[in-house]
């Protein structure tokens, strides 16, 4: 004790131990979840359909306006920035390539994931955290239920279904955003831009974006719920759980995005 250097080393040690513990907990949670998912898969009647539909509505259809808005603006911004640079070289038509590929491969799934993290991930953490404070989780357990079957599986399933659908919306409106810039600001002919977009994009790019969005959805649902379960039993604890859910989700989404991008490029796409 005493010397600042030693204190620093101790702090680093404590921090890494907590990160390590957190990772262990995450792995355990995923393991438990896989077990419950497998059971539900074998006996679909165990699935809580009502909750699933509710979360699909909450995380899906209610998120459409914000997804449309953000992704459209994303397309516009991307198109605009690309246009400014490409105009110098007289390669304005390549704006269609840039916007199309960026939106389909990266920004569509990523933006939807960010929105979903903010909307759904935080809501999941807060909901489960509050339930924990109110002993509802304990009640579920002492009623002989696996809490994750009630609380996690419906959220996970809803997110996995809804996220690709939202991504489709985001992709399309994002490309439309680029299209608007291309035709108004650059004065490219409507059909030229359209043809270029259709020419360079192929379904596999789109499908890879869908795969990404499913992975992101799983991360958001799992991390949101995990942080809820880990919440301390007071109001501040729930708040911290919510913050941590959003931060951890975004961090893991970015890592997953990088990993998936590498995998896809190794696969040759």
Partner 1 sequence: MSNECVVDVKNLTVGYGDIVVLQNISFSVSSGEIFVILGGSGCGKSTLLKHMIGLYTPFRGDVLIFGESMVNSSEDEKRKLMRRFGVTYQGGALFGSLTVAENIALPLEEYTTKTPAEINEVVQQKLAVVNLDGFGNYMPSELSGGMRKRAGLARAMALDPTLLFFDEPSAGLDPITSAELDRLILRLREELGTTIVIVSHELDSIFTVADRAILLDKDTKGIAATGKPKELRDSSPNLWVREFLSRSKLKRDM
Partner 2 sequence: MIEANKFRLGLFVISGSVLFFIVIFVFGLSDIFVRKGKFVSLFNESVQGVAVGSPVKYKGVPIGTVSKISIQVNDKLIRVDMDIDMKAFVTDHQSGAKAVSSFNDFFEHESKMGLRCRLEYAGITGLKYVELNYFDQFPQAPVIERPKYITSNYFYVPSIPSQFKDILNLINTSLEKISRVQFDKISDEMTGTLKSMQRLLDDPKLKMMIDKMEKMSDNMEKSSSNVSKVLTESKLREIVDGLDTNLKSLNNLTISARGSIEGAKFIETAQSFREAAYSVTDARQALLSTLLKLDQTLDSLTELVNYLNDDPSSLLKGKHKPVVIAPSAK
64's contact among partner 1, partner 2, none, with CB below 5 to 8 A by partner kind, is partner 2
Q: Report the residue from 146, 165, 221, 260 that binds partner 1 according to the rule CB under 8 A.
A: 146
For residue 136, CA distances in Å to 37, 126, 147, 172, 178 come to 21, 13, 10, 41, 48
In the bound state with partner 1, the residue whose beta carbon lies nearer, of 114 and 128, is: 128
Please say whether the dihedral angle defined by the alpha carbons of residues 251, 253, 258 and 259, taken in this order, is positive or negative.
Answer: positive
Stretch of 11-19, 137-145, 156-164, 252-260 lying at the interface with partner 1 (CB under 8 A): 137-145
In the bound state with partner 2, the residue whose beta carbon lies nearer, of 42 and 50, is: 50
Contact between 152 and 159 (Cβ < 8 Å): no
Q: Report the residue from 107, 128, 165, 223 that binds partner 2 according to the rule CB under 8 A.
A: 165
Q: Report the residue from 144, 187, 203, 268 that binds partner 1 according to the rule CB under 8 A.
A: 144
Q: How far from the centroid of its chain's Cα atoms is residue 29's Cα?
A: 19
* Residue 48: CB atoms within 10 Å: 16
- The answer to the question of residue 142 lying near partner 1 (CB under 8 A) is yes
Contact between 167 and 109 (Cβ < 8 Å): yes
Q: How many residues does the chain have?
A: 269
CA distance 145 to 148: 9
- The answer to the question of residue 231 lying near partner 1 (CB under 8 A) is no
Ranges within 31-90 binding partner 1 (CB under 8 A): 51, 54
Q: How far is the CB of 59 from partner 2 (least distance, A)?
A: 10
In the bound state with partner 1, the residue whose beta carbon lies nearer, of 141 and 199, is: 141
CB neighbour class for 265 (10 Å; exposed up to 12, middle 13-18, buried from 19): exposed
CA distance 118 to 123: 8
92's contact among partner 1, partner 2, none, with CB below 5 to 8 A by partner kind, is none
* Residue 5: CB atoms within 10 Å: 8
Q: Report the residue from 205, 211, 214, 254 that binds partner 2 according to the rule CB under 8 A.
A: 205
- The answer to the question of residue 89 lying near partner 2 (CB under 8 A) is yes
- The answer to the question of residue 141 lying near partner 1 (CB under 8 A) is yes
Q: How far is the CB of 90 from partner 2 (least distance, A)?
A: 8
Q: Which residues bind partner 1 (CB under 8 A)?
A: 51, 54, 130-131, 134-136, 138-146
């Amino acid at each position: 004790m005493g010397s600042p250097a030693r204190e620093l080393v101790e702090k680093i040690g404590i921090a890494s131990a907590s990160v390590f513990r957190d990772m262990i907990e995450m792995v355990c949670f995923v393991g438990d979840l896989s077990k419950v998912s497998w059971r539900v898969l074998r006996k679909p009647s165990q699935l809580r359909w009502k909750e699933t539909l509710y979360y699909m509505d909450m995380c899906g259809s209610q998120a459409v306006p914000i997804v449309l808005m953000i992704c459209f603006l994303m397309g516009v911004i991307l198109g605009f920035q690309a246009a400014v640079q490409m105009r110098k070289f007289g390669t304005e038509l390549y704006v269609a390539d840039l916007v199309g590929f960026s939106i389909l491969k990266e920004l569509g799934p990523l933006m939807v994931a960010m929105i979903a993290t903010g909307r759904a991930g935080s809501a999941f953490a807060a909901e489960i955290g509050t339930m924990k404070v109110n002993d509802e989780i304990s009640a579920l357990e002492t009623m002989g239920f696996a809490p994750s079957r009630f609380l996690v599986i419906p959220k996970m399933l809803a997110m996995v279904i809804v996220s690709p659908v939202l991504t489709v919306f985001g992709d399309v409106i994002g490309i439309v955003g680029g299209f608007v810039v291309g035709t108004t600001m650059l004065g490219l002919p409507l059909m030229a831009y359209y043809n270029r977009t259709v020419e360079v994009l192929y379904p596999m790019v789109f499908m890879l974006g869908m795969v990404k969005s499913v992975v992101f959805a799983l991360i958001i649902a799992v991390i949101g719920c995990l942080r809820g379960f880990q919440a301390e039993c007071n109001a501040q604890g729930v708040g911290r759980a919510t913050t941590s859910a959003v931060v951890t989700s975004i961090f893991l989404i970015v890592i997953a995005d990088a990993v998936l991008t590498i995998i896809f490029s190794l696969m040759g796409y």
